[in-house]
């Protein structure tokens, strides 16, 4: 799978550990920064880059790491066609894809460690949207809300 990944200064160490692990698992990873520790960088820059990569189809899914994951999730969800979820557990990691067609996951590097992050990302990447009528109906409503602004 082609995955876009990005992080601000707070998420940089987690991103730097997840990227080689993802690559060793057979994924093509597009690293959108940060590349250096800069305590003055801002999470919206990296969250937007990952979200735009998913929006354009350059990446099938996206991963954003920041301190809590909250700001990254808010930012990514401003991009049309992106359904980002803040996930700190494996259930949310797969359920967000299965029920809500989530295509970007946000991780709080100050909340979850590397081992749990790997489990969450594994659940996220291994899941597929379940095209049951109730899930599709809800996704259609979500898309209508997005289209209406």
User: Which residues carry out catalysis?
Assistant: 66
b vs e for 138-149, b when ≥16 Cβ sit within 10 Å of the residue's Cβ? ebeeeeeeeeee
Residues 6+ apart with CB under 8 A from 93: 87, 105, 119, 120, 121, 122, 123, 124, 127
For residues 99 and 138, what is the distance between their CA atoms, to the nearest angstrom? 9
Backbone angles phi, psi at 73, to 5 degrees: -65, -45
Residue 84 near residue 73 (C-beta atoms within 8 A): yes
Strand locations in 9-130 (E): 28-31, 61-66, 84-86, 104-108
């Amino acid at each position: 799978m082609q995955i876009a990944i990005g992080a601000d200064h707070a998420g940089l160490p987690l991103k730097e550990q997840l990227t080689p692990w993802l690559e060793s698992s057979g994924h093509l990873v597009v690293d959108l920064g940060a590349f250096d520790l800069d305590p003055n960088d801002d999470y919206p820059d990296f969250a937007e880059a990952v979200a735009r990569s998913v929006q354009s189809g350059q990446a099938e899914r996206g991963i954003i790491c920041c301190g809590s994951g909250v700001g990254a999730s808010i930012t990514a969800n401003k991009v049309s066609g992106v359904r980002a979820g803040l996930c700190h557990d494996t259930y949310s990691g797969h359920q967000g894809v299965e029920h809500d067609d989530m295509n970007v996951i946000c991780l709080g590097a100050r909340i979850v460690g590397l081992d749990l992050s790997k489990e969450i990302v594994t659940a996220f990447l291994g899941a597929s949207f379940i095209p049951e009528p109730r899930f599709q109906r809800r996704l259609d409503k979500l898309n209508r809300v997005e289209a209406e602004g």
